[in-house]
Structures are given as C-alpha cells and as structure tokens.
Structure 1
Amino acid sequence: MRADARANHDRLLAVAGAVITEQGVDASMRDIARQAGVGLATLLRHFPAREALLEALLRTNFDELTARAAEVESTSPPGDALRLWLRDFVTCTANYRGVVTSMMQAIEDPESALHNSCVTMRAAGTRLLSRAQDANLARADLDGADLFALASALTWLGDQPGLETRADHLFEVIVSAILTDHAG
C-alpha cells in the first residue's frame, strides 16, 4: 500500500474508532469520512461496507483477547483465568457501543467479515471454560456458545441506559452462575 493510502487507512481507523465509541456501530459512514478529512469514496475504497470497517477495528481487539486467553490460561488457576478473560472480553467489547448485535450475527454467518475473528475469540474462551470444567470449577452444562452469549449479554447490559452503574454487580452475578461454589 502506498504511504498516502496507508496514512488514509490508519486515519480512517482511528477516526472510526472514536466515532463508533461515541455514537455506536450505526454511526454514519459519511460522518466518519468527513471527520477523517477524506471523501466518502475514499472511505469506501478502504472499507467497502460497514462490516469491513468494524472487522478492521475489532480484529486487533479480538486478536488481543485471544492472546490474553492463552496468557491467563498459562498463568492463572482455571476459575481465575476464566473470570479474568470474561472481564477483559466485556471491557474490550464495551468500547464500541452496539457491537454485540454485530458479533452475534457474525458468528453465525461464515460470509461475514467478522466471522473468523469472532469464532477464534469464542474458541479461546471455550478453552478457558473447558479447563475450568475439567477442574470442576465451572458448570458442566455450558459450552462455548453459551459462554459467548453470556459474555455478550454482559456487554449489552453495559450499553443500556441506566444499567451502566450496575454492570459490575451484574458481571459478578453472571460469573457466579458460570463458576461453581468450588471456584475461588
């Protein structure tokens, strides 16, 4: 990619991240382009659809969550690792208002630009859940899809007006439903 094209690409991602953080995933593509100081055609040349832009923004975050799962898996007891990763998942995905719906749709749609990132991230969480289950620290009747749905629900709760202040409490409620009494 040419240097000016790379600069436009990077500026578009930075601006899109800020705009989507503020306005949510349905933010105007035209507004993103305008705030980045480029035309809509330039934005669409780099990101031909909103989902492609979201995928580019989220891929790095999802890759970091996948790496974080491996890190906590190797450094923390199973229950603690699962709790830490769930907290990181909620924190990361809460950065972009409204992303939960896009993630839930993408994981079911192999044609989605977000699909591979979501599947890889869910697999990382599933490994942590399985490890906690093997140690008899997590409910045996949950699978990776359940964990992804519950983690996504936690993010959604934080997006709801009036529930932001309850998010930490609700996180603990959900985690206590996932982890058994044997977890510490």
Structure 2
Amino acid sequence: MLKEARAAFDEHGIDTSLEDVARRAGVGIGTLYRHFPARDSLLEAVLRDRFDALTEHGRALLREPEERPVLLDWSRSLAEMATTYRGLTGALMGTLRDEKSDLHASCEAMRRTGAALLRREQEAGRVRADVDTAEFLALLHGAAWAGEQAFDGASDRRDKLVALVLDGLAPARSGAAAG
C-alpha cells in the first residue's frame, strides 16, 4: 500500500485522492482507513524514511570538521525533500506547530537537527546571530515553495534560491550597508 501511496503522491502531490491510493493498492477505501485513519497517518508512513534520512544527513554533517560550512548542504537537502511532493512545504510548516499531527515527531527531529546546524554556523560566525530556527526554516521552506511554484521544482533554481537565502543570512561585512 505504501508503494502505491508514494506513486500517487509523486504524481499528484500531497492532496492526492485517498480513493486513488486505495484503488492503486487494490484495496477498498475502508481497508486504507483501517491502516491509516487520517491523511497525515499515510503521509507520515510514506515520508518517514525521507525525514529520517534528512535527520541522519544533518547529524553526519555535524560530525564534519567545524571549519567546513555545512548548512548549505543540509538546506539544499531539506528543500529537495520539501519539493518532492507538491504541497508538502505547507504541510511541513503546519506540522511543526501542530503537536497532535502524525507528522509532528518526524518534523521535530528534523527541526532539532536544523537548529543544531544553524547554531554551529552562527558560532563559527558564518550566519547572523539574530536568526532563530523558526525564521531559518521559514526562509528555507519559502525558497523551496517559490522554486516549486515558479520553476516546476527545477533543482538548479531551487538550489539557487536556497543559496540566496543563506547568503542573506551571512553577517554584514565591515563597510557593508546595514539593513
């Protein structure tokens, strides 16, 4: 059932019809709902591997030498994952705030990893100290969403938008205009 759900979400985004998922899986809608009582339950099952991989990727980056900037690498991975399914960016931002959501725990693990990477870059002086995790993630999801809307999710455009966001988070250079 999960394989068919992935295919449906790949094709139609997160708003795909659950009836379509059931039909693809060769089961009735009641059977689908017995296994996954809500859309978020099905999404969480489909996305858990991706979330866990992104969290682990961030943890591996945290083991890199501290002089190596790693935030852009993780940020691009987050944007890529967020644009895998149309509409996922908005759902992810919503689940970070909704502790009752089935996706909340997975998103929270990613958020903590992103926060640790952000702190590391701030402590190294590569990112402004006044940026908090919520702002950072909102900017990344905004860049991912903009890339998805304006460029059909083209990875080169999405990656450029993410790089522009991180460039904007760099501390002001001496002599640069303050904003």
Q: Which residue of the partner structure matches residue 7 of structure 1?
A: none
- Equivalents in 1 of 2:151, 2:59: separation in Å? 34
Q: Which residue of the partner structure matches residue 21 of structure 2?
A: 32
Q: Which runs of 5+ in 2 are unaligned?
A: 174-179
Q: Which residue of the partner structure matches residue 111 of structure 2?
A: 122
Query: 2:69 is paired with a residue of what secondary structure?
Result: helix
- Tell whether 2:77 aligns with 1:88: yes
Over the matched positions of the two proteins, sequence identity in percent amounts to 39
Tell me by how many angstroms 1:77 deviates: 4.0
Tell me by how many angstroms 1:54 deviates: 0.8
The equivalent position to 1:169 in structure 2, one of 150, 160, 168, is 160
**1:108 is matched by which residue type in structure 2?**
R
1:49 to 1:142, Cα distance in 2 relative to 1, 3 A: same
Q: Which residue of the partner structure matches residue 19 of structure 1?
A: 8
Q: Which runs of 5+ in 1 are unaligned?
A: 1-11
1:99 to 1:164, Cα distance in 2 relative to 1, 3 A: closer
Query: 2:70 is paired with a residue of what secondary structure?
Result: helix
Q: Which residue of the partner structure matches residue 47 of structure 2?
A: 58
- Equivalents in 1 of 2:93, 2:28: separation in Å? 31
Q: Which residue of the partner structure matches residue 6 of structure 1?
A: none
- Equivalents in 2 of 1:175, 1:163: separation in Å? 22
**1:71 is matched by which residue type in structure 2?**
A
Q: Which residue of the partner structure matches residue 96 of structure 2?
A: 107
- Equivalents in 1 of 2:97, 2:67: separation in Å? 28
Contact kept in structure 1, 2:40 and 2:101, CA below 8 Å: yes
The TM-score, its normalising length taken from structure 2, stands at 0.88
1:78 to 1:54, Cα distance in 2 relative to 1, 3 A: farther
Contact kept in structure 2, 1:79 and 1:132, CA below 8 Å: no
Q: Which residue of the partner structure matches residue 150 of structure 1?
A: 139
1:159 to 1:26, Cα distance in 2 relative to 1, 3 A: same
**2:162 is matched by which residue type in structure 1?**
F
- Equivalents in 2 of 1:115, 1:77: separation in Å? 30
The TM-score, its normalising length taken from structure 1, stands at 0.86
- Tell whether 2:170 aligns with 1:179: yes
Tell me by how many angstroms 1:85 deviates: 0.5
- Equivalents in 2 of 1:137, 1:117: separation in Å? 27
Contact kept in structure 2, 1:79 and 1:179, CA below 8 Å: no
Q: Which residue of the partner structure matches residue 57 of structure 2?
A: 68
- Tell whether 2:30 aligns with 1:41: yes
